[in-house]
Structure 1
C-alpha cells in the first residue's frame, strides 16, 4: 500500500531557543526538566509514523498530549523544529513558501473545530472560497461548490448565510469548503467535537460515506473513543508529545504498549468496538475456488460438503473475491437441470456482510438469518465467515480476557 504521508524524527519546541532544548533532549533530559530549566515547551518529540493513501489515521491523546500541534505541523501552520514531513514524497518541512501555498491551495485541506466560516459570505461563496483564492474563475468555482454542497446535503442552502444555519450544517459547509479543492489529503482537527452527540454521529457517517466514494487520505484528531474507533483505520496514541502506540483499534485494545495506553482504555467494553472482520473465521466454512469447469466445481463442492459434513460452501474466484454461496440441494438441482454455471446454484438468502459491520448489527443479521455469513472487504474479497457459534465463542473469549 502506498504511503501518502511519512513523518520522520519530527520535533516541535515552543520557546526562544529551540536548539538549546534539542541539545537537552539529546542529553536525555525530559520534557518537564526542559520546561523547569528554560520555560520552553516540547510540543512534539521524535514523532515517526506514516499514513497510507486512502486511510483515515486518527491522532488521540489527553489535552496537552501534542495531537493538535502534530496535525498543524503536517501543513506547517506550526513550523517544525527538526525532522521531515513527506507528503506525496515532497518534504513539507523544507518547502519554499510558494510551494507550500500551492500545496495548500490544490492538494491539502484542513477542517477545524471552530467552523471558521466567513460570516459575510453565503454558503456558496464560503464553499468556493479556496477556489477563489486559487484563481479559479467564478463559473467553474461555483459549479464545483454546488457539486460538493450536494454531496454534503446542503445544495438547497447555497444562498443562505452562515448565521442562518445550525452548528451541524455550518460544519457541513466547512467540510464542503475543504472538499471543493479536491484534495488528496485532508487534515481534520477535532472537526466534530463542537457538535452535539447526534449531529456528531451524522457527520461521522457522512465522512465515512464520502470516504467510501472518494478514498482520500485523512488525518483526524479526536479525543473521543467512540469517534476514533468508528472512523479510524489506524490510531496513534500520544502522551507528552510522544507517539506511544500506533495500530488498528482492535490491536491497541488487545495489546496496549504500556501503562499509559492501558489506563487510557481502562473500562472500555471491547465488544462494543468489535466489527465483522474481528469475528470472522477463515476455517469454519468450506470455500470452493472457482475454476474454468463449473460442473467440476459443483461435484467437488458436493464431495467436500459430504466429507466435512457441512451444509454450505462459499465460491471464491481466483482473485479472492466472493462470487456466491451454495448448498448441497442447490447444486444437485443445478446438476439435474444440466446447467454448466455454478452461479445458477447460488442461494439468494446468504448475502455477504461488510468487514466494518458493527457487532450489534451482525448479531441482528445472524438472529434473523442464522446461516454462515461471508465477510468481505470493500473490494468484495472474502475474509472469512461468521456463524452463531463463532460469534458466541468470540464473545466468551472477550469476557474471559477482560477478567484476567
Structure 2
C-alpha cells in the first residue's frame, strides 16, 4: 500500500491504564501476558502493538467482543484517549503532535463521530441538533440551515426538522446523529456501536441507508461493532481484536475463509454467508453483444455453447440461451457489489439474472452458481 493509498495510519499503538505505565509498557514489550502485567504493575493493557492502515473512502470495521479494546481504539482517532505509545497519522500528519488549537480544528472539521446512544441535545430541534457542528465551525446561520436540511433529506428525515428528539423513535434519533456528523463535511466518520441499540429491523434499515450514503459521499468510515454479520455487510475490510491485540485484518472473504488463527475461526463459525458474499464472488462473465452486433452468424459463433447477453439499444439487457437458437428474453439485473442474499428474491423467480459492473452488463448469476459460492468460497462457476 503506497502513501497515496493511506488515509489513516495506526502505527504500533499501545494503551495502558494505570499509574506505572512505563513499567507496564516495558513488560508487555518484553513478552509478558496481559494478566502478568496486571499482577506485576497493577496496570491494565488496553491495546497492544496495534498496527494497520485505512484507505481513503473505505468503510473499515473494527470488531470484537466486550473488553476487546475496540471502543478504546476508536477514541484514539480523535484523541479522546491518548496512546501510551505509538502514532496515529491522518493524511500523513501525526495527530499526537497537534497543539490544542489544531486539535480543536481537527475535531470540528476533519473528523466526526456518531455515538451509540444518539447523544442529541433534548432542548434543541432536529434541525438545531443537525447544524450544531457547522455553527461551531463559523458557518453563517442561513448556510448552516441549508446544509442541515440537505443532510436530513439524505437520511430520510425531511419534514421532521422542527420536532424534538423525544418525539422521534430510536431509529429516527440515530438518523439525526448521522445527519449531524455528515453536516460537518468531515472526511472521516467514526461510528461507535452506532446501531447496536436499535431493534433488528430498524438496525437493518440503518445499515442499508449507511451503505447507500457511503456509495454517494465516499467518506472514510471507521465502524465499531461486536456483530460479525454487521461487520461483513458494511465493511470493505475488518479488523478483529481480542484482549487488546489485533488478531486479523482483511476483507470479509479473508476473515471467513482464511482465518488467521483458531480464535478468528471460532468467531466466524456461525456467520450468515448470504450477507458476507457478494455477486462479484459468484457470477461468471459471458459474451455481451449489442443489438446491432447480434447477427445470427455472430451470435451462433460466440454463444454456441453457453449463454450470452444482448444489450438492447436504449434498453435493458436481454438474455439469450443456447446461442442463436434460443429466444432472447428480458432479465433482472443486479450490481456486482450486492450481497448474495439480496439476489435470492430475483433468483426465486428466475434461474438466471444479469450482473453489472460500473453500470454495464458483464455476466450472469444462476441459482447453481450462488449455491456453489456459499458452499465453497474459492469456487467460481
Please say whether Structure 1 and Structure 2 have the same fold, judged by a TM-score greater than 0.5: yes
Does residue 310 in structure 1 map to residue 291 in structure 2? no
How many angstroms apart in 2 are the aligned matches of 1:215 and 1:302? 43
Give the corresponding residue for 2:162.
Answer: 159
Is residue 280–residue 383 contact of structure 1 (8 Å, CA) maintained in 2?
Answer: no
TM-score scaled by structure 2?
A: 0.88
Q: Describe the superposition over 1:342-384 as per-residue Cα deviations: whole angstroms up to 9, x where unpaired.
A: xxx9x6613431223333432332332333x34334x336775
Tell me by how many angstroms 1:271 deviates. Answer: 4.6
Is residue 61–residue 237 contact of structure 1 (8 Å, CA) maintained in 2?
Answer: yes
How many angstroms apart in 2 are the aligned matches of 1:298 and 1:99? 68
Give the corresponding residue for 2:356.
Answer: 376
Distance 1:385 1:113, change over 3 A: same
Distance 1:155 1:310, change over 3 A: closer
Tell me by how many angstroms 1:266 deviates. Answer: 2.7
How many angstroms apart in 1 are the aligned matches of 2:76 and 2:112? 13
Give the corresponding residue for 1:228.
Answer: 231
TM-score scaled by structure 1?
A: 0.83
Report the secondary structure of 1:194's partner residue.
Answer: coil
Q: Which moved more, 1:164-173 or 1:238-247?
A: 164-173
Report the secondary structure of 2:344's partner residue.
Answer: helix
Q: Describe the superposition over 1:66-117 as per-residue Cα deviations: whole angstroms up to 9, x where unpaired.
A: 0001111011110111112111222112222211211111121001111111
Tell me by how many angstroms 1:298 deviates. Answer: 8.2
Does residue 352 in structure 1 map to residue 338 in structure 2? no
Q: Which moved more, 1:247-256 or 1:215-224?
A: 247-256
Q: Which moved more, 1:133-142 or 1:109-118?
A: 133-142
Distance 1:102 1:287, change over 3 A: same
1:386 alignment partner, one of 361, 365, 371: 365
Tell me by how many angstroms 1:236 deviates. Answer: 0.7
Is residue 308–residue 319 contact of structure 2 (8 Å, CA) maintained in 1?
Answer: yes
Give the corresponding residue for 2:342.
Answer: 361
How many angstroms apart in 2 are the aligned matches of 1:85 and 1:7? 5
Alignment length (residue pairs): 370
Is residue 303–residue 324 contact of structure 2 (8 Å, CA) maintained in 1?
Answer: no
How many angstroms apart in 2 are the aligned matches of 1:395 and 1:131? 46
Does residue 215 in structure 1 map to residue 218 in structure 2? yes
1:66 alignment partner, one of 66, 69, 91: 69
Q: Which has the higher helix share?
A: 1
Give the corresponding residue for 1:181.
Answer: 184
Distance 1:231 1:269, change over 3 A: closer
Report the secondary structure of 1:59's partner residue.
Answer: strand
Q: Describe the superposition over 1:3-24 as per-residue Cα deviations: whole angstroms up to 9, x where unpaired.
A: 2111111111112232222211
How many angstroms apart in 2 are the aligned matches of 1:76 and 1:91? 11
How many angstroms apart in 1 are the aligned matches of 2:274 and 2:373? 9
Is residue 277–residue 383 contact of structure 1 (8 Å, CA) maintained in 2?
Answer: no
Tell me by how many angstroms 1:274 deviates. Answer: 2.8
Q: Which runs of 5+ in 1 are unaligned?
A: 316-322, 334-344
Is residue 56–residue 232 contact of structure 1 (8 Å, CA) maintained in 2?
Answer: yes
How many angstroms apart in 1 are the aligned matches of 2:141 and 2:275? 48
Report the secondary structure of 1:73's partner residue.
Answer: coil
